[in-house]
Amino acid sequence: MKLDEVQKNSARSLLDLDFEEWCIFLTSWKQAIPGHKILHRHYLAEDKKVLAQIELLKEIFNTTSHHNNPRLTSALSTSDGAHNRITHPPRSKIELDIAKHIFNRCKALLQSEAKFGETLTALQYFYDNYRHWNRRVIAKYDDKNKNKLQAYKALSKQVLTENAQMIVVKNDPRAHNFNIGSIRFKTPSKQANDGPAFGLLLSYVYARLLKSAQLTS
């Protein structure tokens, strides 16, 4: 959807943004462009609904590790000295195309009443266990997490493009904790393989926004 095709008086929320609009939105936010300008650019009203969605985004992106380090992106200082933890879109076209494919596939699943629950469970596992610094997802094989892990693996295989691979590494049984391994993605890009992670993270954002809308409707 092109922004100039949207009527200015339409009541839009973040749920109405398509992939390209999300990329512009997040890039603008990371660049510390004033919020009212970002909302105006996407024809989003500064009403309670949209402002509540913005607060939910802040909660999602501000997640930290046990050592209080950002999990989803590097903490870069803005001009006012604050940390901007907003995840930016991939820079290469290959990674952008992979992320877009994943987002659109997940979005379709989330819009299905029959698939919403299991898709959200899988995306929640990704969100809880993804680490930006090594671009890997922690694989937990204990009884509490193994079903969630399986849901995540199944979703990844379902939404990945043909040129992206999911590589699972399980620790040696002789290791200190052999119930924990890792999952990473391999893509054709010579740059960082961040397309799959960005697509899954954006899908999680959409899922949380959708669930919030369902609870308040």
Distances (CA, A) of 42 to 91, 104, 156: 22, 19, 30
Q: Are 78 and 84 in contact (CB under 8 A)?
A: yes
Give backbone dihedrals phi and psi of 201, rounded to 5 degrees, phi first: -65, -45
Task: Compute the distance between CA of residue 147 and CA of residue 139 in angstroms, rounded to an integer.
Answer: 11
Q: Which amino acid is at 189?
A: S
Report how many helices (DSSP H) and strands (DSSP E) the chain contains, helices first.
7, 6
Mean pLDDT, the chain, rounded, equals 83
Say what the pLDDT of residue 177 is. Answer: 60
Distances (CA, A) of 153 to 97, 136, 139, 196: 21, 13, 10, 13
Say what the pLDDT of residue 1 is. Answer: 40
Say what the pLDDT of residue 82 is. Answer: 43
| Residue 98 pLDDT greater than 90, yes or no | yes
Q: Span 193-205, mean pLDDT? A: 93
Q: Span 203-207, mean pLDDT? A: 97
Distances (CA, A) of 83 to 76, 90, 117, 149: 5, 20, 33, 31
Say what the pLDDT of residue 5 is. Answer: 43
| Residue 80 pLDDT greater than 90, yes or no | no
Task: Compute the distance between CA of residue 217 and CA of residue 142 in angstroms, rounded to an integer.
Answer: 37
- Banded pLDDT at 65 (limits 50, 70, 90): low
Selection from 187, 202, 203 nearest residue 93 by Cα? 187
Task: Write out pLDDT tens, residues 121-159.
Answer: 999 999 999 988 788 899 998 899 999 999 999 999 999
| Residue 49 pLDDT greater than 80, yes or no | yes
In this prediction the pTM is 0.85
Say what the pLDDT of residue 83 is. Answer: 43
Tokens representing 110 are: 């989330």
Q: Which residue has the higher pLDDT, 146 or 8?
A: 146
- Banded pLDDT at 73 (limits 50, 70, 90): low
| Residue 176 pLDDT greater than 80, yes or no | no
Dihedral angle over CA of 194, 181, 164, 74, nearest 10: 0
Per domain, the residue ranges of the chain are: 3-84, 93-216
Say what the pLDDT of residue 75 is. Answer: 54
